[in-house]
A and B are shown apart, each in its own frame.
Chain A
Amino acid sequence: MNTMTEKRTQETQQQQREREQFVVPDVNIYETKDGYLLEAEMPGVNKEGLEITLEGTELTITGRRSDQPPQGADILFSESRLLNYRRVFELDPTVDTAKINAKVEQGVLTLTLPKAEKVKPKKITIA
């Protein structure tokens, strides 16, 4: 009985999460011979609010805003949507997932996704 209730609450939480509205951050993606570089614009997000998950080759970036409107102030107008960010990417399978590196600076997330050694183009010199 107890476990059933537990499960139901979990489901509701998941449903709530699915219903949450997200902003899709703008990204730039580059490929170099060593790997990929992804930059995502998420103003208001710092290290603590960032969640990057990898399931198989599916990379999910979630950014939660840490900025709050000034306390006790009224909104006169607002263009920013004050929503959290989420975007899902399908990774190239050659990416070495163990070596993914992330950093966030002034609201821009930079992800470095190196390619696995074995797929890097090698130059073969003719003896």
Chain B
Amino acid sequence: MALIRWNRTENTNWSPLEQLTRLRDEMDRLFLSPLGELPRPGQFFNQWAPSLDLYEDKDNVFVKAEVPGMKKEDIDVSLHDNALTVSGERKFEQKQEEAENYRSERFFGRFSRSITLPVSVAGDKVKASYKDGILTITLPKSEQAKPKQIEVSVT
């Protein structure tokens, strides 16, 4: 979050309109750094859960998970009814011996995250790919869940 210098209004040129603008600016500033700054649930108690994004188009549901620095084999994606679970383990690699740790902000260990999908999906056609630390899961919607165009016939 950027630090913004607080300018005190001079009493001499006080104007209510300016005060209103300032109030608006202040409120805009509050929204600039929303709850994203707060730890996510699961981050408490030394736990970690990757952040998930959920998208939908006509035919598919997409799930994106940020899991940087993992091996493909250590990521596990499973689908049970409509609950999708992304789990895995990020293993700590001791790269150099006798290293002194200055900063340790990254998480290592097991994690698991489940979400309920908004529509039913064709479980046998689910695809997952891992690139640049982002896991993308493409879940084609089941035929029943796809929107249907109904033609109106005029009689």
Contacts and interface: CB of A to CB of B under 8 A. Distances in A.
A28 B68 CA distance: 13
A72 B44 CA distance: 35
Given A77-B54, A108-B133, A27 B103 contact: yes
Contacts of B62: 70, 73
Contact of A107 (B64, B98, B134): B134
B73 interface: no
B69 A108 contact: yes
B68 A80 contact: no
Interface residues of A, number: 37
Contact of A79 (B2, B40, B101, B131): B40
Contact of A31 (B99, B118, B132, B134): B99
A116 interface: no
Given A28-B106, A39-B106, A44-B133, A107 B68 contact: yes
B21 to A, nearest CB: 18
A29 interface: yes
A19 B29 CA distance: 12
A106 B56 contact: no
Contacts of B95: 30, 37
Interface string B106-146: 11000000000010000000000011111000000000000
Given A44-B133, A107-B132, A80 B100 contact: no
A73 B133 contact: no
Nearest to A79: B51
Contacts, number: 117
Contact of A80 (B66, B102, B103, B107): B66
Contacts of B52: 77, 79-80
A11 interface: no
Contact of B106 (A27, A77, A81, A105): A27
B132 A66 contact: yes
Q: Closest 5 A-B residue pairs measured CB to CB?
A: A107-B133, A107-B68, A108-B69, A79-B51, A43-B133
9 contacts: A29-B102, A32-B98, A32-B100, A39-B69, A44-B134, A69-B55, A70-B55, A78-B54, A79-B52
Interface of B: 2, 32, 36, 40, 51-57, 60, 62, 64, 66-70, 95-107, 118, 130-134
Given A29-B103, A75-B53, A80-B66, 18 more contacts: A21-B32, A27-B105, A28-B104, A30-B101, A31-B100, A32-B96, A33-B98, A37-B99, A43-B67, A43-B68, A43-B134, A73-B56, A75-B55, A76-B118, A79-B53, A106-B70, A106-B133, A108-B133
